[in-house]
C-alpha cells in the first residue's frame, strides 16, 4: 500500500471538508432557498410548505398529517403590503420594507377580515383580548395544541393597523388594540407577558402550562414591532409604558443571546437553540430597529444592544457561527449543505488535477 498516496488523498479530503464548511457559512443565504425546496418535496411532496385554500394560508409540518393554520405565516404572506403601508403612514425608518410595492388594498383588507375568523375572544384583567390559537403541537418545546404567540399578536396588530391606514375605518384600530392587549396579560393568566430582569418579555411560544419559558428573541421583538406601531395611533398613551419595559428587557438581556462572541442564540431555553443564518440575520435587523427606537422614543443610547448588534454583524463575516452550529447543534440541512459544498470542491480539485496531469 502506498501510504504517501493515501496520506495525500486524506489531506485533500480534509481540505475539501474544511473548505465546504467555510463555503457553507458564506453561501448559506444564497443556497438555503433551493435546499429548502428540496427538503419540502422530500417531507411534504410539494415545493413549498405553505398552501392556499379559500383565501387562507395553511402550513404543513413534519410529523403532522394535515395542514394547519399558522397566524404568523398567514400574516407574513402580505408582509410587503404591510411594511410598505406602515413605512408610509407610521415610521419610514423603522418599518423599512425590503422592496416598496404598490399596495393591493383589496388583498390586504381580505386578509384582515379572514384573520378575524380565527380569533378567540377572552376577557382578562378588565381587558378584552383577541387571541390567536395554534391548533397543532409545537414539538421543539413539547407543547400540546392550544398554545399562542406574542409574535402572532404583534403581526396581527400590524395587519389591522395597515388596514386602518388604508380605509380609515376605526374597527381595524380597535381590533389592533385587542390583539395588543394580550401582550399586557401575564402568561400564567392566558397572555404572553413574562417578567424578566429589566422589564417584560413577550413569549413567542406561550401557554399557561409552560414550565420553562423559551424567551425567543426574534418573536419578542416582532411583538414589539406591532406594539410600537399601535403607540403611534393611540391617543391615550396607554401602551407607552408597556413598550418601554419591553425594550428595556431586551437591553438588559441581550448579552445572554451572544454565543462564541459573534453568533446568536435563538432562545434561552434550558438547552438554547443556536440561530441559523436566517434567524441570525433577522436578529441583526431587529436590533438595528430597537436601537433606533430607543433613541427616538426614550432619547437614550443602547450600549448593550449596540454591542450585540456589532458582534452579530461581524459574525456574518467571521465564520465562527458555522462551527458552533456544526459541533453544538447541527441539523440535517446544515450537514447536507456542507456535504454538497465539500463535494463541489472535491470535483473542482479533481478537474484541476486531471487538467494539470493531462498537460504534463
Per-residue DSSP letters for 47-91? Answer: S-SEEEETTEEEE--TT-SS-EE-HHHHHHTTHHHHHHHHHHHT-
Asked whether residue 285 falls in the same domain as residue 175, the answer is yes
Burial of 102 (0-12, 13-18, 19+ CB in 10 A): exposed
Asked whether residue 167 falls in the same domain as residue 206, the answer is yes
pLDDT mean values, one per 10 residues, the chain (360 residues): 74 94 95 80 57 74 82 94 95 86 92 96 94 93 95 98 97 98 97 97 95 95 98 89 97 97 95 94 97 89 96 96 92 91 94 81
Asked whether residue 325 falls in the same domain as residue 195, the answer is yes
Q: Please report the pLDDT score of residue 199 as a whole number.
A: 97
Q: Quickly list DSSP for 269-304.
A: SSSPPBP-HHHHHHHHHHHHHHHHHHHHHH----HH
The reported pTM is: 0.93
Q: Which helix (H) or strand (E) holds 190?
A: none
Asked whether residue 30 falls in the same domain as residue 128, the answer is no
C-alpha to C-alpha distance for 216 and 143, rounded to whole angstroms: 15
Q: Please report the pLDDT score of residue 47 as a whole number.
A: 44
Give the number of C-alpha atoms closer than 13 A to the C-alpha of residue 134, restricted to the C-beta side: 25
Asked whether residue 19 falls in the same domain as residue 167, the answer is no
Q: Please report the pLDDT score of residue 135 as a whole number.
A: 94
Q: Please report the pLDDT score of residue 42 as a whole number.
A: 66
Asked whether residue 102 falls in the same domain as residue 231, the answer is yes
Torsion of CA 329, 333, 335, 340, to 10 degrees: -160
Asked whether residue 155 falls in the same domain as residue 224, the answer is yes
Q: Please report the pLDDT score of residue 43 as a whole number.
A: 59
Q: Please report the pLDDT score of residue 136 as a whole number.
A: 92
* CATH code for position 96: 1.50.10
Asked whether residue 101 falls in the same domain as residue 176, the answer is yes
Q: Which domain holds residue 130?
A: 48-329
C-alpha to C-alpha distance for 327 and 184, rounded to whole angstroms: 39
Asked whether residue 255 falls in the same domain as residue 266, the answer is yes
Query: Contact, 217 vs 264, CB < 8 A?
Result: yes
Amino acid at each position: 500500500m502506498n501510504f504517501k498516496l493515501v496520506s495525500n488523498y486524506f489531506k485533500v479530503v480534509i481540505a475539501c471538508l474544511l473548505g465546504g464548511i467555510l463555503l457553507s457559512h458564506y453561501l448559506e443565504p444564497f443556497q438555503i432557498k433551493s435546499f429548502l425546496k428540496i427538503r419540502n418535496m422530500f417531507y411534504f411532496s410539494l415545493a413549498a410548505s405553505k398552501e392556499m385554500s379559500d383565501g387562507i394560508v395553511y402550513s404543513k409540518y413534519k410529523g403532522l398529517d394535515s395542514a394547519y393554520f399558522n397566524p404568523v405565516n398567514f400574516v407574513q404572506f402580505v408582509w410587503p403590503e404591510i411594511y410598505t403601508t406602515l413605512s408610509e403612514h407610521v415610521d419610514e425608518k423603522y418599518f423599512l420594507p425590503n422592496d416598496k410595492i404598490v399596495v393591493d388594498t383589496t388583498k390586504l383588507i381580505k386578509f384582515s377580515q379572514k384573520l378575524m375568523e380565527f380569533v378567540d375572544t377572552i376577557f382578562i384583567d378588565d381587558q378584552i383580548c383577541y387571541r390567536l390559537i395554534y391548533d397543532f403541537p409545537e414539538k421543539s418545546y413539547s407543547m400540546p395544541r392550544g398554545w399562542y404567540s406574542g409574535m402572532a399578536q404583534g403581526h396581527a396588530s400590524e395587519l389591522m393597523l395597515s388596514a386602518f391606514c388604508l380605509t380609515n375605518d376605526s374597527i381595524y384600530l380597535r381590533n389592533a388594540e385587542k390583539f395588543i392587549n394580550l401582550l399586557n396579560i401575564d402568561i400564567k393568566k392566558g397572555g404572553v407577558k413574562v417578567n424578566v430582569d429589566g422589564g417584560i418579555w413577550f413569549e413567542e411560544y406561550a401557554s399557561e402550562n409552560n414550565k420553562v419559558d423559551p424567551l425567543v428573541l426574534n418573536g419578542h421583538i416582532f411583538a414589539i414591532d406591532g406594539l410600537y406601531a399601535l403607540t403611534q395611533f393611540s391617543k391615550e398613551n396607554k401602551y407607552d409604558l408597556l413598550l418601554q419595559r419591553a425594550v428595556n428587557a431586551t437591553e438588559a438581556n441581550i448579552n445572554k443571546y451572544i454565543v462564541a462572541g459573534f453568533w446568536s442564540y435563538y432562545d434561552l431555553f434550558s438547552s438554547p437553540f443556536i440561530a441559523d443564518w436566517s434567524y441570525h440575520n433577522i436578529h441583526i435587523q431587529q436590533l438595528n430597529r430597537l436601537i433606533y427606537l430607543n433613541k427616538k422614543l426614550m432619547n437614550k443610547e443602547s450600549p448593550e444592544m449596540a454591542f450585540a448588534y456589532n458582534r452579530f454583524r461581524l459574525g456574518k463575516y467571521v465564520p465562527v457561527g458555522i462551527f458552533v452550529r456544526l459541533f453544538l447543534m447541527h441539523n440535517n440541512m446544515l450537514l447536507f449543505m456542507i456535504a454538497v459544498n465539500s463535494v463541489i470542491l472535491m470535483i473542482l480539485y479533481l478537474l484541476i488535477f486531471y487538467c494539470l496531469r493531462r498537460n504534463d
